[in-house]
A and B are shown apart, each in its own frame.
Chain A
Amino acid sequence: MTGAPAELELRLRYAHGTGALQPYFDALRGGRALASRCPACDRVWFPPHIHCPDDGTACGWLELEGHGRVVSATETHARLPLAEAAAAHVFVLVAMQGADNAAFGRLKPGVPGRNLAGRRVGLVGVADAVPHPAQAALFELLEED
């Protein structure tokens, strides 16, 4: 025997700190790229790792110039975490100049999502509050050097 499902709504509120990554998020909000560098393998990570994921060595901070190139891009319609509504977004992986990895982020609204691989982009910074500091990973297209 089955009955009509009960409608349950949970509202969860987390006091969520970002810990040792806080300097990265603070810089991101200001449009700066704070990476980390492993003294053992010399690999530079942006977003940073506090300890190198390859060898466990404690990394040091290293500020990058704040621009890089799109590795890949996807155009979609999605609701950002903690946002009220869905919207069109172009999500990208960006290899920042001076980094050995790539960063996940999104392009400023209005940029078509096609033929972006290889394009030069830079961090924008966010003046307004964002629901989570990771959402400050916002890029804009730059002119070629």
Chain B
Amino acid sequence: MSADTARAPVVLGGGVHPFGRHAGGPWRDWVRQAGEAALLDAGLAPADIDAVVVASETDFLSLQVNPGPVVLAELGLVGKPVVRVEGGGASGGLALREAVMQIMAGLYRRVLVVGFDAAAGHLGAADVQLVYGLSFDAETDGMAGATAVALYALSIAEYMARHGATAEQLAHVSVKNHANAIGNPWAHKPMSITVGDVLASPMIATPYRKFDCSMASDGAAAIVLAAPGEAPAADRPRSRITGSGAGSDYPRLGDRRDRSAFRAKARAAHAAYAMAGIDAPSSAFDAAEVYDAFTGAELQSLEALGLAAEGTAGPAMAEGRFDAAGELPVNLSGGLIGQGGVPGATGIAQAVFMDRLLGDRAHGDGARRAVRRGVIDVHGGVCTNAVVHVMERAEP
């Protein structure tokens, strides 16, 4: 164990307000429920928390500027230090990283991380699409018409041309993640569908069809981290965050030398693996929660994370390597495609889900896996900024 992992924060508990379409909100109700669930799971009271990190992608969705103090008030934490973190789809993961750094720096003993967004039922879909289009370089690309699905489609089209990946291989991701979400009480879209269903779903932006796309969801997630010496005794396995890394790439997709590869994620993974002492990621993990904003993005992410060699994720996906019963199960929660996409909460919900896997407390297919080490990953933009965490089981 390296010096870094000796100081690796312990996950005391977590909670998720189910992802879905909660028309009318309000997000503060979801935050309260997720935060209270996390504290209950951790066996702590609000007074035990030293600091809070809040994640939310955009005030255009919440209609709340400076949401941090509001979250504190909802959870009985007024007076605690709070910082709000934003990084597009990576917001929740970056908030988790902020808490990891606060604890490892010795600033605080116990930190609550809360993420939320009202991305589905608060603002009309066309307006949400417009807001998300500003997630890229708004001046040259977003205002020219770039939407998330259009840019992801341009990226995966190049990937498919380069590596020979097929629409059927992409469809396998959708089938897998929708099925994995069945039994997940937090999931927005659990479904049993076939590759044929995916290929017959309406075209959104070539080559992406409706079932290739994740949904914008409403929801919240919260997690409590502690310094190793500040974790109350427990009679169940816990998890620790042994690696944390972040990276970035050009905000304009067209500026990248290779527009089909997620280099920001590769950089983030390299840093996280170095911190965790991992030098062979392809065989290091028992489970992975990967940012599947679109089916192809899961393939691109798996390669950037070193879980599949360049150009091989598509065939491996179709062969079942990443299925729930496969060699390396990916997105047992359902991922964004099955569980839903809440930019401020997704990275935190991934950590809560991985903590459940590592602690033998998972639901659905995850309950049947013995997981000792996992990797979680989110990004913003078309992988413009990325954050990767390694989590490991800690015996009581």
Question: For the complex, is A74 an interface residue (Cβ under 8 Å from B)?
Answer: yes
A11 to chain B, nearest CB (A): 12
Question: For the complex, is A71 an interface residue (Cβ under 8 Å from B)?
Answer: yes
| B130/A79 in contact, CB under 8 A | yes
The size class of the interface chain A forms with chain B is 35 or more
Chain B: CB-nearest residue to A132? B143
**Binary flags per residue of B144-157, CB closer than 8 Å to A gives 1, else 0:** 11110111011101
Question: For the complex, is A123 an interface residue (Cβ under 8 Å from B)?
Answer: no
| A71/B259 in contact, CB under 8 A | yes
A77 to chain B, nearest CB (A): 8
Given contact pairs A53-B255, A71-B154, A93-B259, enumerate 11 new A-B contacts (beta carbons under 8 Å).
A2-B24, A53-B250, A73-B157, A74-B205, A78-B147, A78-B205, A91-B205, A101-B256, A102-B259, A113-B206, A137-B140
Q: Give the complex CA separation of A47 and B250 in angstroms.
A: 13
| A134/B141 in contact, CB under 8 A | yes
Specify which chain B residues have a CB less than 8 angstroms from the CB of A79 in the assembled complex.
126, 129-130
Chain A: CB-nearest residue to B255? A101
Question: For the complex, is A111 an interface residue (Cβ under 8 Å from B)?
Answer: no
Given A71-B259, A75-B206, A113-B206, A47 and B143 contact (CB-CB distance below 8 Å): no
Q: Give the complex CA separation of A57 and B129 in angstroms.
A: 34
Given A2-B24, A75-B205, A91-B154, A80 and B254 contact (CB-CB distance below 8 Å): no
Specify which chain B residues have a CB less than 8 angstroms from the CB of A76 in the assembled complex.
147, 149-150, 153, 204-206
Question: For the complex, is B161 an interface residue (Cβ under 8 Å from A)?
Answer: yes
Q: A18 contacts which of B139, B158, B205 (Cβ < 8 Å)?
A: B139
Specify which chain B residues have a CB less than 8 angstroms from the CB of A8 in the assembled complex.
63
Specify which chain B residues have a CB less than 8 angstroms from the CB of A86 in the assembled complex.
126
Question: For the complex, is A103 an interface residue (Cβ under 8 Å from B)?
Answer: yes
Q: Give the size of the chain B interface in residues (CB under 8 angstroms).
A: 39
Specify which chain B residues have a CB less than 8 angstroms from the CB of A47 in the assembled complex.
140, 252, 254
Chain A residues in contact with chain B, CB under 8 A? 2, 4-5, 8, 18, 21, 45, 47, 53, 71-76, 78-82, 86, 89, 91-93, 101-106, 113-114, 117, 131-135, 137
Question: For the complex, is B374 an interface residue (Cβ under 8 Å from A)?
Answer: no
Q: A101 contacts which of B146, B153, B252 (Cβ < 8 Å)?
A: B252
Q: A73 contacts which of B126, B139, B154, B204 (Cβ < 8 Å)?
A: B154
Q: Give the complex CA separation of A36 and B117 in angstroms.
A: 38
Chain B: CB-nearest residue to A81? B143
Specify which chain A residues have a CB less than 8 angstroms from the CB of B290 in the assembled complex.
none
B365 to chain A, nearest CB (A): 33
Specify which chain B residues have a CB less than 8 angstroms from the CB of A18 in the assembled complex.
139
Question: For the complex, is B13 an interface residue (Cβ under 8 Å from A)?
Answer: no
Given A5-B24, A21-B139, A102-B254, A81 and B133 contact (CB-CB distance below 8 Å): yes
* A-B pairs with lowest CB-CB distance, top 7: A5-B24, A102-B254, A76-B205, A74-B153, A134-B144, A132-B143, A134-B143
Chain A: CB-nearest residue to B121? A5
B59 to chain A, nearest CB (A): 11
| A104/B205 in contact, CB under 8 A | no
Specify which chain A residues have a CB less than 8 angstroms from the CB of B259 in the assembled complex.
71-72, 93, 102
Specify which chain A residues have a CB less than 8 angstroms from the CB of B253 in the assembled complex.
93, 102, 104
Q: Give the complex CA separation of A92 and B150 in angstroms.
A: 9
Specify which chain B residues have a CB less than 8 angstroms from the CB of A82 in the assembled complex.
143
| A72/B139 in contact, CB under 8 A | no
Q: Give the complex CA separation of A114 and B203 in angstroms.
A: 13
| B161/A72 in contact, CB under 8 A | yes
Specify which chain B residues have a CB less than 8 angstroms from the CB of A93 in the assembled complex.
154, 253-254, 259
B31 to chain A, nearest CB (A): 16
Question: For the complex, is B142 an interface residue (Cβ under 8 Å from A)?
Answer: yes
Chain A: CB-nearest residue to B208? A74
Question: For the complex, is B23 an interface residue (Cβ under 8 Å from A)?
Answer: yes
A17 to chain B, nearest CB (A): 10
B69 to chain A, nearest CB (A): 22
Q: Provide a sorted-by-A list of 13 A–B residue pairs whose CB atoms are within 8 angstroms.
A: A74-B205, A75-B205, A76-B149, A79-B129, A91-B154, A93-B254, A102-B255, A103-B254, A117-B161, A131-B143, A132-B144, A134-B140, A137-B140
